Amino acid sequence: MAPPVLVGTVLGLLCVVGARAEETSIIEEFDVKPGGVENAYTRTLGSFSCKFTYAAQGGTNEKWQMTIEMNEDKQYFFCTIWRPLGTSYLFFLKFKVEVTGGRIEFCEAYSQENKPLKKSEYDVTDTAVSHRPDSFSASLYKISVVTKCDREEL
């Protein structure tokens, strides 16, 4: 018979592995950096990933956050990129949010003070949301994307 400490350790490890396999959300903070250089931030949850690419000018680094969640039946993934501390003082030269593992069903983008961007300021395809160069106002506060998961038929 195995010693109780060994059994407890093995059971504990199995619980941790099981918890990771069932992970349904990720919330991570990252720096949005000025300087006009293109930067990217990517996170993956299961077979889904969300990538935020941008170039910004002005000010100093800002703390932003990416949240990825899946619904209970794992049919939809939600990706939100935003500045939780409020108004951004950066001027965004460009932005793009790309998803893999599904196709975009819905998207909203916001400028300062949580005002929706005009639909003429950005484009949405099956797998990406990006600024429209001739009409984007350079103001960005939040982007939320709802993606329907790719599923193979049985």
pLDDT over 70, % of the chain: 84
Mean pLDDT for all residues in the chain = 86
Burial class (CB in 10 A: 0-12, 13-18, 19+), 150: exposed
Distance CA 51, CA 89 (A): 22
Six-digit token string for 114: 């949580």
Find out whether 21 and 74 touch, Cβ atoms under 8 Å: no
Query: What pLDDT was estimated at residue 87?
Result: 85
Q: pLDDT tens across 96-108, in order?
A: 999 999 999 999 9
Q: What is the reported pTM? A: 0.83
Answer yes or no: is pLDDT of 95 > 90: yes
> Helix/strand/coil (H, E, C) string of the chain?
CCCHHHHHHHHHHHHHHHHHHCCCEEEEEEEECECCCCEEEEEEECCEEEEEEEEEECCCCEEEEEEEEECCCCCEEEEEEECCCCCCCCEEEEEEEEEECEEEEEEEEECHHHCECCHHHEEECCCEEEECCCCCCCCCCEEEEEEEECCCCC
Distance CA 30, CA 20 (A): 22
Query: What pLDDT was estimated at residue 129?
Result: 98
Find out whether 143 and 108 touch, Cβ atoms under 8 Å: yes
Q: pLDDT tens across 23-55, in order?
A: 899 999 999 999 999 999 999 999 999 999 999
Q: Which of 81-85, 107-111, 112-116 has the lowest mean pLDDT?
A: 112-116
